[in-house]
Chains A and B, each alone.
Chain A
Amino acid sequence: MFVRQLRAGLTLGLLLAAGNASAQELSNQQLIDSLSQISKAAPAIDPALLAQEANANVGKGVANQPNWSQLANLSQLLVEIDFENDSIAIEPKSYRTVGLIADALHHPNLMFYKFLVVGHTSSTGDAKHNLNLSQQRADAITEALATTFAIPRDRLSSVGVGQEMPVDPANPKAADNRRVQLINLGRIK
């Protein structure tokens, strides 16, 4: 995976210095560093409420919804994971990215934290279909993490938001909007 699309929306909106490098391979250390910057003021986010807001706002966007609007305050990373067209099958070329995420989540610094995988699409196609597909794709990523890579299921959750929160709102059809957010939800209780 390349950081062409990598934007590290860290707490306080700081950009990861390494995130600005072009066509540089995402490293394990980058993942660990950016995901482990936990702010004490980080909001508690319930993935079920995110799903509710996404389902109730198909075609209308979720950026201003109470829960979605708080996600930016959590330690997170954007990654690019490619899927086969209109399918939940992860492209083999993106296996490495999933493996890197698994390595990071097994790292002792992150071992006691929960993570949320958020799937996004561009606005190409039907909004409802995009929402469902992104949910299934986010599920496929957590499924791989939980089975092949043995991350305990209680540390993982997934939600799809379809085209409702584009990273490039001026160009909702742009490929950059297709992305996966990996978000640190805080310590396991």
Chain B
Amino acid sequence: MNRLGLLSGAIVVASLSLAGIGRADTMSYADAVTALAKDCGADIKKVCKGLNLGNNQIQDCRQKNEAKVSPTCTSTLGQVTASIQQRQAAQTGFFKICAHDAAQYCGGVKGEGNILASVEVETRRQRQMQPGDHRCGMAIDPNLGERSCLFVNCARD
């Protein structure tokens, strides 16, 4: 099998680091905090007034004021926090797992990423990963040629 074929066969996308919207295990940051605002917005304004999204302030406030925070908010906050942590772990893991392949196949490539929507669709279609697999997915964008390495996220199923 030539290298290109090998590469495209190995392409896997569980969630592009950004486009994880709609997935059960991780969601985009935007969707995560939208859920937080919807289910906790009123509680935050009432119980955690003046506190901010950064530095765990909302989580700390909820812990200190457990009785005053609605059960819906408590539940959503837990899910959102877990989702964000999971996504960060996945992203960190991706770079670790893919570091070797990136150096080997994409050394010197400019414009890291260049993930295109069409490539995302294509890689999803070609997906051949089994549950539990954690492999590095990488592809060469046919539109941009060999010097455009596309990093896609590692499989997380």
Contacts and interface: CB of A to CB of B under 8 A. Distances in A.
| Same complex origin of A and B | yes
Interface of A: 28-29, 32, 84, 87-90, 92-93, 95-96, 98-100, 102-104, 106-109, 111-112, 140, 143-150
A84 B49 CA distance: 9
Given A28-B30, A106-B17, A143-B55, A92 B36 contact: yes
Most A CB contacts (10 A, CB to CB) among B29, B36, B51, B84 go to B29
Most A CB contacts (10 A, CB to CB) among B31, B33, B56 go to B33
Contact of B37 (A95, A104, A106, A146): A95
Interface of B: 17-19, 28-34, 36-37, 40-41, 44-45, 49-56, 84, 88, 91, 111-115, 117, 151
A148 to B, nearest CB: 5
Contacts of A98: 33, 53
A3 to B, nearest CB: 15
A107 B113 contact: yes
Contact of B44 (A88, A92, A99): A92
A143 B58 CA distance: 13
B84 A149 contact: yes
B52 A90 contact: yes
9 contacts: A84-B50, A90-B53, A95-B34, A96-B34, A104-B18, A145-B54, A147-B56, A148-B84, A150-B88
A116 B27 CA distance: 25
Nearest to A146: B54
Q: Helix, strand, loop or mixed for chain A's interface?
A: helix
A147 B84 contact: no
Contacts of B117: 29
Contact of B29 (A90, A102, A147): A102
